[in-house]
Structure 1
Amino acid sequence: MKTIVVDDEKIALMTFMEEAKNIPELEVEGLFENAEEAVEYVKENKIDIAILDIEMHGIDGINLGNIFRRLNPKIMLIYITGYEKYAYEAIKLHAAAYLVKPFSSAQLEYAVETARLLSKRGKKKIFVRTFGHFDVFVDDEPIMFKSHKAKELLALLVDRRGGTVTTDQIIGTLWEERPNDQYTQNLCSKIGKTLEKELKENNIEHILVSARGIKRVNTSEFRCDFYDLVDGDEKAAEKFFGEYMLEYSWAEERMALLSKYI
């Protein structure tokens, strides 16, 4: 889990890294002695866990946690304190855990695991249906896409099962009759941004991974009947009647490969 640590004492940060080096789940993205710098980092980056010292000069850990929560309501907070009397303040912020100095590697690992489980519990349930017509369900409710082309782009990415898809490949599939010129590339870029916006409006933007000129879906963030089928799930096989993303002509190639499951 992507993590930052904020403590205004450099030696405390070094001690933390010594305790954290054997915890594989902990991906430390940044160590900050300055709270303001940490705030700027959280504004620009997706962070899963913030580990904060409560007593700091300037912005203290409790106020810093409040700021982080406003920037990212899903961020997990773990507090470090030298005094148990401050634990109540951490509890009021619904912190995942708090550690009293000095703490052991085992205690830190337990706190991180607690944060991971709480984060997982709070995630929305996402299911992508490809059998028949393509649809995306969030907590059992279908997303009502405003842009049919943005929805088709997502369908294409789902069909590639997490593999990267380039701008040229997207254009060749979604606009096969158009020349691959600057106008079509701008159109493709616009549809990509529209998809990002629609996913964000439904709080599932994390399923899409975008970089310059390429896109993919993060298949670990959702369930999909197509994926279940090819992975040998018997229940998925019972629900497959030989129809796959019926609204998209390019999906016929995949359907030919899936015919053996009928």
Structure 2
Amino acid sequence: MLRAIIVDDELLSVKRLNRILSESGTVNVCRTFLNPLEALDYARENPLDIVFLDISMPEIDGMSLSARLRAHDKEIHIVFVTGYDEYAVQAFDMNALDYLMKPVTAERVARTLERAGSKTAVTVSESLLSIRLFNGLQLHRQDESRSLLRLRSPKTEELLVYLIYKGKVSREEIIDTLWGGFEPEKAHKNLNTTLYYIRKTISESQLKNPINAYRKEIWIEEEHMDCDLYEFKRLVKQIRQEQGISALNLIRQAEDLYTGTFLKSKGYEWAIAQSRQLEREFIELLELAGKHYSESGQSNPALHYFEAILKLDPLREDISLETIRIYIANGRMNEAVRQYRSLEQMLKQELGTVPDPRIAAAIRNVDPLALSL
């Protein structure tokens, strides 16, 4: 689909053209603008295929705006939209794609779009950027090739990940987080340059661009990428609204996604709190599944989830007790004792305490001498 913006200081004209373009099925109207200066800022930071410009506008007329847009991107298609035909010759002298008279009609716009399609050399790929943030960082194409994407530098990686993590964020917050301590002018330049290289890599890989940038904010279009973090959050929200088998099936999906700590080994300070929060949410899901299976007498799946919790949080005495009870019930006394000793050692080292007496009692009730050594 052609990526487009509409620039016109008449709101009714904008609405009419927006409706016609949206109904065409071949155009994605990214934004509409009543202010040409705002449109220019947007076009400088977002890839576009075609721009529909009113000619008579305050501050910058359509002709001047067209020249500035072409200076930024010589491949962009310009379509002038006006209520006066005296500009036609001048418009085509500027190599405009087309010249539409108001009020525009769907039939006339269709001919313009046919011309734009025939002149557009770049084929828009349907492939998405796929990013995995659990257990490290991996970027690749979401297609049969699954080819890896390599960004220019560690900073381009960090900026992309931060944008994905935040979803929508102000430029000032990005600068404070990633370029804190820099002079404002240099920090803004670093942000713009780094963002440029991210988008360049995505464009050269013929992937849909998920990043939108404007003067004060940058945001991610989630539907234009495949991200394990977004899918995990969606599952957590859905699980909290489900019960029984449906919830358990969703927990299994979440377990497949959570392959390790969020951004493991990347060392981003801003990611520490999010990493802990995601781990807590994952443990809650494991505990929900473990208790469900335990209460329904299904010891093997219950044990699977309890053991998974202890790998992430080995100091959980309540989960250790549940695990030891299952070991005992299945005649695995040696493993019950081993789990108790492991908990005992960690509590002593980390907290200077001893396990809950109920845990030892559960073992001694079966074998009074099991903990005597």
Secondary structure in 2 matching 1:78: strand
Alignment of structure 1 residues 145-184 onto 2, 5 Å: 164-166=130-132, 168=136, 170=138
Secondary structure in 2 matching 1:207: coil
Quote the Cα distance in structure 1 between the aligned partners of 2:156 and 2:113.
40
- Structure number with greater CO (CA < 8 Å, separation at least 6) is 1
Secondary structure in 2 matching 1:164: strand
Residue 111 of structure 1 pairs with residue 112 of structure 2: yes
Alignment correspondent of 2:29: 28
Quote the Cα distance in structure 2 between the aligned partners of 1:94 and 1:50.
13
Are the structure 2 counterparts of residues 210 and 87 from structure 1 closer, same or farther at C-alpha, using a change threshold of 3 Å? closer
Report Cα offsets for 1:93-142 as digits up to 9, x if no partner: 2111111122210111211221122122xx49xxxxxxxxxxxxxxxxxx
Alignment of structure 1 residues 84-123 onto 2, 5 Å: 84-120=85-121, 123=122
Shift of residue 34, structure 1, vs aligned partner: 0.4
Are the structure 2 counterparts of residues 207 and 117 from structure 1 closer, same or farther at C-alpha, using a change threshold of 3 Å? same
Are the structure 2 counterparts of residues 186 and 101 from structure 1 closer, same or farther at C-alpha, using a change threshold of 3 Å? closer
Q: Provide the aligned C-alpha RMSD in A.
A: 3.9
Q: How many residues align?
A: 163
Larger radius of gyration: 2
Structure (1 or 2) with the greater helix fraction = 2
Q: Which amino acid aligns with 1:107?
A: R
Alignment of structure 1 residues 242-253 onto 2, 5 Å: none
Quote the Cα distance in structure 1 between the aligned partners of 2:110 and 2:100.
11
Shift of residue 17, structure 1, vs aligned partner: 2.4
Quote the Cα distance in structure 2 between the aligned partners of 1:170 and 1:17.
38
Alignment correspondent of 1:2: 3
Shift of residue 48, structure 1, vs aligned partner: 1.0
Are the structure 2 counterparts of residues 19 and 197 from structure 1 closer, same or farther at C-alpha, using a change threshold of 3 Å? closer
- What runs of 5+ residues in structure 1 fail to find an aligned partner? 125-160, 172-184, 217-262
Q: Which amino acid aligns with 2:118?
A: L
Alignment correspondent of 1:205: 204
Shift of residue 164, structure 1, vs aligned partner: 2.2
Quote the Cα distance in structure 1 between the aligned partners of 2:48 and 2:83.
25
Secondary structure in 1 matching 2:30: strand
Report Cα offsets for 1:67-115 as digits up to 9, x if no partner: 1111222111111122222111211121111111222101112112211
Shift of residue 50, structure 1, vs aligned partner: 0.4
Shift of residue 19, structure 1, vs aligned partner: 2.7
Secondary structure in 1 matching 2:75: coil
Structure (1 or 2) with the greater strand fraction = 1
Quote the Cα distance in structure 1 between the aligned partners of 2:60 and 2:25.
30
Q: Which amino acid aligns with 2:132?
A: T
Q: So what's the TM-score if we normalise by structure 1?
A: 0.51
Quote the Cα distance in structure 1 between the aligned partners of 2:80 and 2:6.
10
Quote the Cα distance in structure 2 between the aligned partners of 1:42 and 1:188.
21
Report Cα offsets for 1:151-202 as digits up to 9, x if no partner: xxxxxxxxxx86725364749xxxxxxxxxxxxx949949x999x859959x
| Counterpart contact for 1:7–1:33, Cα < 8 Å | yes
Alignment correspondent of 1:43: 44
Shift of residue 61, structure 1, vs aligned partner: 0.5
Quote the Cα distance in structure 1 between the aligned partners of 2:15 and 2:57.
16
State, as a whole percentage, how many aligned pairs show the same letter.
Answer: 26
| Counterpart contact for 1:52–1:61, Cα < 8 Å | yes
Q: Which amino acid aligns with 1:205?
A: E
- Which aligned segments of 4 or more residues in structure 1 are displaced greater than 6 angstroms? none
